[in-house]
Structure 1
Amino acid sequence: MVVEQQKALKSLVTKTDGLAKQIEQNSDDDGALVDIRLQLEDLARQALNTATVFRPRLTEIGSKLDQLGPPPAQGQPAEPEIVANERKALNNEKAEINAVIAGAQTLSLRITTMVDNISTLRSKLFRNLLTKRYALDKVVSSELVSDANSEFTNLYAAVSSWFGFVLKFKYQAALVATIMALVAAAVLLIGGRRLYGRVFEFNSNIEEPSYLSRLSLAFWSTLLPTLALGVFFFSTYFFFDYYGVLRGDIGVFLRALMSAIGVAFCVNRLTNAALSPRMPKWRLIPVESGPARWLVRLSTAMAVVLGINSFLSVVNEQMGSPLSLTVGRSFIATIIIGLILILMGLVRPFRTHTGEWRPWPVWLRYLAYALGLFTIIAALLGFIGLAIFLSIQIVVTGTILITAYIGFLSARAIGAEGGFAESSVGRWFAAQTNLEDGTLDQFGLATSIAINLLIVLVFLPLILLLWGFQPGDIQAWAYRLATGVKIGSVTISFTGILTGIVVFVVGYFVTRWFQAWLDDSVMARGRVDTGVRNSIRLIVGYAGMALAALIGVSAAGIDLSNLALIAGGLSLGLGFGLQNVVSNFVSGLILLAERPFKVGDWIVAGDVSGTVKKISVRATEIETFQRQSVILPNSNLINSAVGNWTHRNKLGRVEIKVGVAYGSDVRRVHEILLEIARGHPLVLKNPEPFVQFVNFGPNALDFEIRIFLADIMNGGSAQNDIRFAVIEAFTREGIEIPSAPRQAQPHIHHEPWPVDDDKTEALHAEKEAVKAEAERNRTKGRRKPRRPDPN
């Protein structure tokens, strides 16, 4: 293995030497420097792998040397030859491995130095691009016109020769490629219109569109058609290149032309969506229709000028145009863009109630003036690179940022409470699924997060590319984020974190599926008790969740041994602040294991009596007979007495107390009560019911009916039926059930007023006459009315 790694390390050194020469040869090419840096970083990773592959072997050698022990000192007996030879071989192998590791570390340091050198060269190139000054004396000379004429003639000749080549040799291939590109475009455009037409087209039937609708329309009407156009251009170029229709220079020209058209199209779509000259009610910015049309025209013109300049720069580079033509083209483009910016600042887009036109806010107006003047002044001073760079950022970066900002606003509006339900998609989703508002809000929040991620993934790389970064830079950053970002001694790997989350989610759903399968297919068929099934299901669920969490943490790249220190630090808090939580948790495990009661049992715990509905590791849910849910901590159920009416079975005894008046025939009372108890269908024959003469009460003779029921939960209905039967039987037999004597009302003594005795007797006689008349009326009311005499 050592020999193989030595050869691999030598090959890496050779490749590194070759890349060092390439850096010197391409010191003025930013794209080539980025590619070299990516290759160097790959070589550095291979060198580190070469060093780390020996770790297990070094550990093994160290353990063997420890077993052999140190060599004997002078004056001590010599060790066996076989032991000495083995120690020597191990030390030689260890030295060779250390030499390879040292070489790999040296190569890694060299590569790091070369990568830093590349970063320095690229920074220097970027500074030179912005600070380089060109002489403008040739811009206004006659040489510019002649150079432009010559350049146009050469471009026309190149395109004409390509057309001739295609018509003569590649006619069928070009025809097939064109048809396939047109079919792809037709499918995309027609299908997109039918599927997403409501998303990015104005609806004139809506009188008062919401802010969310306007935001969504502005965002998607910019993004979706631009992506559609990009897919069309990509398919066209792909099919032309696949069938060999393109030539080297024509392919470069076609890519540049497609990019220019794409930028102009995107800017036009964005300004039309935001300003909406023809549909004022869909307008995001409250400007008047006339200024809105001018702003759309000026923005599109600026994008067209920039696109033409970009296309001509590719033509100049490909055809080796003179410097005067390059400088002149860039000078004219920057001057035009600066003037357009100043014109946009001069526009008065607002109108007061009195009809007076108002300009932009002061900060926005002066920002447009400053950018326009700075671009023009930079071009006039000869800093063409700076001027054209600023023009590109104003047009393209501004368009991307505005589109992204509208997307963020749309995502925030969708994620707001009730925002998704108010959108057209949310209303359609609610009509199809009949979901509640809370569920729709959760869908809206998920949609908001997805839109934000989409915006970041799409627009951030575009902005980085526009600001001078190369695709290789983005690729390197993405690789670092995926493999791990080191912060101090901690390495954070986004790929690992995502993998851990995915593993945990998969483990969660597998656990739920296994719980359902175990409950429905195994325990249900085995006629396992409901309480046992619930306990097993809960234990399997908690065990599966814990296992999924451990596997997810390990998949995320988190060393579980590092959590030991955290667990030790939390132990003190668990002992004091969380002792109740831990007590309830342990109590819950004891309840699930011992099962003193199960789901469906009728228990009595202190003042709470009801049916057990759910047993978790922290608390137990009990539903009282008033349908009230009581959540009892598990520690209360473990540390206190709990009565279980249905512990082993549902057999139970019910007592019904009955009192009869003194003087009643107690033997007959006993017979009647026993007959009623035996005749009830729910009362068991064995054990048979029993009637006990309990006591001589202060107001009644007390009896007690004791019956046994197969299901104690039916005790209420059985008691009710027996009490009705007792009342009916006692009424037939004339047996009286005495009631407790009512407590006499306290007599309140008032001092009498002095009255006349004659008047008092008269009032008393009058009251007696009124009572007699009322009694006669009641007697009359009970009599049946006589039939009227027909005669």
Structure 2
Amino acid sequence: MTFRALFPRLFLLLALVCAALPAAAQTNPDFDKQSAGWQDTIKRLYVQLSAQNLSDDGYNALRIQLAAVVDQAQAASAAANDTLGKIKQVSDALGPPPAEGAPPESPDVVKQRQELADALAKFDGQVRQAEAVKTQANLLQQTADAARVDRFRRDLLTVAPAAFDPQLWGSVPDQATYLATRLLLPFQDQAGAGWDGVGEMARRILFAGIVLGLGWLARRWLLRRFGRRLTETVPSLRRRAAAALVYTIAHGVLPAMMTLAVAVICAGWLGDRPASYVAMITLGVLAWGIVAYFLASAAISAALTPDDPAWRLIDLTDASARTLCHRLRLGAAIWAVAGVTLAMADGRILMQSELRAVLVAASLAAGALALLALLPGSLWGYRADLKALPEGEPTDDQPAPARPAGRWPRLRLVTALLAVVVLVAGLIGYQKLALYITYLLVTSMGIGAAFLVLRGMVHEAIGRFLTQPVGPMARVRHSLFPADRGLWVFETGAALCTDIVLGLAALLVLAPVLGLSTSDISAIGTTILEGAKVGGVRIAPLDILGAIVAFTVGITATRFLQRRLDARFLEKLQIDRGLKNSIRTGIGYLGVLIAALLGVGVLGLDLSNLALIAGALSVGIGFGLQNIVQNFVAGLILLVERPVKVGDWVVIGGAEGVVRRISVRATEIQTFQRSSVIVPNGNLISSQVVNWTHKDKNGRVDIPVDIAASADVEQARDILLQIAKADSRVSAFPAPVVAFKGFSTTTLDLELRCHISDVDNFAGVGTDLRFAIWKAFREAKIAFQPAASDISLPQAVQVLATAVRERDGAVAKPGADRSEAAREVPREAEESSNAA
């Protein structure tokens, strides 16, 4: 190859390289500087982690910095990979170097090849460095996570002094006296106590009064606007939940505001003095404890409504609701006192370890016992259990039946076990573990109650959407589900999606109690969505969900297109039903194929690998699935060639009926006895099929009529033609005819042939014509005569006997001998008939 012929190619290669290298330089110009910064950050974070004194905020900051390093390294690796691919394309276009003994390349080509090799090595090195940085950051992140978990475990299993230790109680009185002295110190130190003036106290009291007045007005407005109404006898769950929330706000917020107002006034009196430090903290904790009790008590009354069962959120009996309401209020008071005690022992008040251990153990024990008092199954009587009773209420002789075993009894058992664990762990010194279980248990109960209420409201809304007879909801439902065939699928899918969404929301709310920070939740979510690598395959739930959504959207769009074509286009075309079905089915197959390809594309599967797998399985498919493939191809032939269509009247083998559906594998034929016969598509292609309605629905009805040889054949013909023409279902063209098929010494063989435009009326037309022929022939005294070949020997003897009787009856009877002889002949003929 001459240089003149090579020059255009070299110029093109030079242009490609000049376009690729500057692009790479612009994509990542300071990779070495970035790499050095990444290494410095990783070393600095490693030193911080080695100190083993990082707080939760320090761990979160470390996670954020490592995530930033990983993201930057990932971006740099992607950019270097992109440039590497472009350079490889240019190198592939240059071709392989000349083999040994071949003519050498020109110096420009050799230089160009060397530059490409240097660029490949450079960017390949950048990719490897970025991947190494990502690996180091991930390993450091795993180390940090392991250290944090270990620290959390050690902190959780810290042992405090046991509450039942006799040595512990010796110093408790002195420590309690010291704490009481510090609490009463502001009242003893009157020098700096009081307000700065009477005006300040008056302003605070006036402000508290205004706030309480506004709260009282807001309470009345809320109850009047959104509260319970006696006119609503069967309120919905959404309405009951809204009324319960309003009741809680109205009856709980006002006492809470009053408590806070008193706390603000007392805090103003205490002032900002060193002697008031412990009292101020105690006042604040006590105020919030009282507020929590008022709100909890109002929420309990709103949810259980002992005196108004129609507005009750839980389907309990009145007796159970009253008992639980009293116990829950008592438990709320106990938990409020325990919470105040635990908050005071949290370290903000200078409290010695012995007194703190006793107070924490006592608070945990009181809270656990209060919880255990709520768990007996006898307290939870449901109104649904009383429906089987005659009077509707349990009696002494006929107690209420036990509620069927379900999740709630198991949850009560688990809760009781956890309460016992809290009680025992608090007494033996594992107070942090007991506190962790307590917080987790209380939060789980609150989140679970909210989850059940929201779930019930959503399910109630779904039920209204599915059962609303008229209105916007009904119109939307009929638009989405015109045949109501997908309502069950929609109901199940909507309920499942609701449970998943609410469950994820509950886990997100519960995550901080479990010790997970925002960065931890974000990392877990990212890991779940991006997936994990198993072997050489990455399993990504987000991609799988996207593929399912894409496939579902494709199938839904296909079904919608089919319905629109049926309603707007195919119904207006003057084509037969079978062609409409073929068009509709073909669009359905095409839509399913496109939806499957779309789902595979979103999933990110390599179609070349699928092609290799399909090629490897082709032999097995050819042998093992031969019949299935044959029937599938036959189904496609039926849809395109249409020898058999939906609505055709066919006869195949011993089956005769109407084609109802042609699917991928088989064809459904409904017989006239209303049974379904499933025929493989291959049989319809390879076997002989009688199709009465292949081209059109025209058909012919043949009715054979055998009359006696002595009858008037022309009169019979006229009667038959008159009967056929009188039936409106018989076509005028071709006109009905009577064929004279043959005659013998006893019969004349006629056949009425008439055409009909709709072969579906074959049986009805034939039956009506036979009735009309029988009636007309009887009136015309034309006797039906069976063919001679159809008469058996007994029938022949009977005919002979009848003829003899008729002959003897026609002749005069001269005497008794002839009458006796006439009676003997039929008797002999009858005996011969019986013998035959």
Aligned residue number for residue 431 of structure 2: 387
Cα distance 1:106–1:365, how it changes in 2: closer, same or farther (>3 A)?
A: closer
C-alpha separation between the residues in 2 aligned to 1:467 and 1:670? 99
Distance in 2, matches of 1:503 and 1:185, equals 52
Say if 1:542 and 1:428 are closer, same or farther in 2 by CA, change over 3 A. closer
> How far 1:397 moved relative to its partner?
2.1
State the secondary structure of the residue aligned to 2:783: coil
Tell me if the contact between 2:341 and 2:359 (Cα under 8 Å) persists in the aligned partners: no
- Specify which of 55, 77, 84 is matched with residue 81 of structure 2: 55
**% identical equivalent positions:** 29
Partner of residue 687, structure 2? 640
Counterpart of 1:308 in structure 2 is 340
- 1:10 lines up with 2:61 in the alignment: no
Kept in 2, the 8 Å contact 1:677–1:707? The answer is yes
* Alignment match of 2:639 (pick from 588, 592, 599): 592
* RMSD value, Cα: 5.7
Return the offset for 1:44: 0.7
Q: Residues 77 and 131 of structure 2 are in contact (CA less than 8 Å); yes or no, is this contact kept in structure 1?
A: yes
Q: Distance in 1 between matches of 2:248 and 2:570?
A: 55
Aligned pair partner of 1:111 in 137, 158, 172: 137
**CA distance, structure 2, for counterparts of residue 528 and residue 729 of structure 1:** 42
> Which runs of structure 2 are paired with 1:325-344 in the superposition (5 Å)?
332-342=359-369
Relative to the length of structure 1, the TM-score reads 0.69
Q: 2:111 aligns with which of 78, 85, 91?
A: 85
**Rounded Cα–Cα distance in structure 2 between residues aligned with 1:35 and 1:185:** 49
Relative to 1, partners in 2 of residues 1:602 and 1:187: Cα closer, same or farther, differing over 3 Å? farther
- 1:36 shift after superposition: 2.6
Distance 2:219 2:604 in 1: 44
Question: 1:130 pairs with 143, 151, 156, which one?
Answer: 156
Paired amino acid for 2:431: A
Counterparts of 2:154 and 2:187 in 1: how far apart (Å)? 29
Give the conservation status (yes or no) of the 8 Å contact 1:222–1:403.
Answer: no
Q: SS of the counterpart of 1:604?
A: strand
Amino acid at match of 1:688: A
Q: Is the 8 A contact 1:302 1:395 kept in 2?
A: no
The alpha-carbon deviation at position 118 of structure 1 amounts to 2.1
Q: Which runs of 5+ in 1 are unaligned?
A: 203-219, 237-249, 355-360, 379-385, 748-767, 769-791
Q: Secondary structure at the match of 1:54?
A: helix
Matched, 1:691 2:738: yes
Kept after mapping to 2: 8 A contact 1:678/1:689: yes
More divergent stretch after superposition (398-407 vs 541-550): 398-407
C-alpha spacing 1:454/1:745, structure 2 compared with 1 (3 Å): same
Q: What does residue 507 of structure 1 align with? A: 554
Q: Using the alignment, how far apart are the partners of 1:304 and 1:407 within structure 2?
A: 24
Offset at residue 547 of structure 1 (A): 1.0
Aligned-residue offset at 1:450: 4.3
8 Å Cα contact 1:673/1:726 also seen in 2: yes
| 8 A contact 1:408–1:452 mirrored in 2 | no
Q: 1:638 to 1:456 in 2, by over 3 A?
A: same
1:416-455 pair list within 5 angstroms: 430=467, 432=469, 445-446=492-493, 448-450=495-497, 452-455=499-502
Structure 1 distance, partners of 2:245, 2:756, is: 73
1:299 equivalent in structure 2: 331
Q: Secondary structure at the match of 1:703?
A: strand
Partner residue of 1:546? 593
Displacement after TM superposition at 1:34 (Å) = 1.9
Q: Please tell me the residue identity of whatever aligns with 1:109.
A: T
SS across alignment from 1:621: strand
Distance 1:298 1:368, change over 3 A: farther
CA contact (8 A) 2:657 2:672 kept: yes
Contact conserved, 1:345 with 1:368, CA < 8 A, in 2?
yes
The 5-angstrom pairing of residues 193-342 of structure 1 reads: 198-199=236-237, 292=324, 295-297=327-329, 299-305=331-337, 307-308=339-340, 321=348, 324=351, 332-342=359-369
Cα deviations by residue, 1:142-178 (Å, 9 ceiling, x for unpaired) = 6645665789999xx9xx99xx99x99xx99xx99x9
**Which whole-Å deviations, capped at 9, do the CAs of 1:374-407 have from their partners, x for residues lacking one?**
31331xxxxxxx5144224225425515863996
> Is 654-663 or 15-24 further displaced after alignment?
15-24
Deviation at 1:726, TM superposition (A): 3.4
What is the identity, as a one-letter code, of the residue corresponding to 2:24? V
Secondary structure of 1:53's counterpart equals: helix
Distance 2:135 2:159 in 1: 38
Q: Deviations over 1:431-459 (max 9, x none)?
A: 74899999887676446534532452133
Aligned counterpart, 1:377: 428
Alignment partner of 1:472 out of 507, 510, 519: 519
* Correspondent of 1:30 among 56, 59, 69: 56
Kindly state the Cα deviation for residue 184 of structure 1 after the two structures are TM-superposed: 13
Q: Alpha carbons of 1:408 and 1:695: their partners in 2 closer, same or farther (altered >3 Å)?
A: farther
**Structure 2 residue runs without a partner (length 5+):** 1-22, 162-167, 258-279, 380-395, 398-411, 478-482, 798-822, 824-836
Partner Cα distance (1:466, 1:723) in 2: 88
State the Cα distance separating 1:107 from its structure 2 match: 1.8
Q: Kindly tell me: are residues 78 and 642 of structure 1, through their superposed partners in 2, closer, same or farther at Cα, counting changes over 3 Å?
A: closer
Q: In structure 1, which of residues 514, 518, 523 is the aligned counterpart of residue 570 of structure 2?
A: 523
Distance 1:524 1:283 in 2: 53
Aligned-pair distance for 1:658? 0.9
1:34 is aligned with what amino acid? N
> Structure 1 stretch 457-466 or stretch 564-573: which is displaced more?
564-573
In the TM superposition, what is the alpha-carbon distance from 1:708 to its structure 2 partner?
2.6
Residues 1:397 and 2:441 aligned together? yes
User: CA shift at 1:541, angstroms?
Assistant: 0.8
Instruction: Give the TM-score, by structure 2 length.
Output: 0.66
Q: Deviations over 1:284-315 (max 9, x none)?
A: 7999889756742453245324543676689x
Specify the SS of the correspondent of 1:524: helix
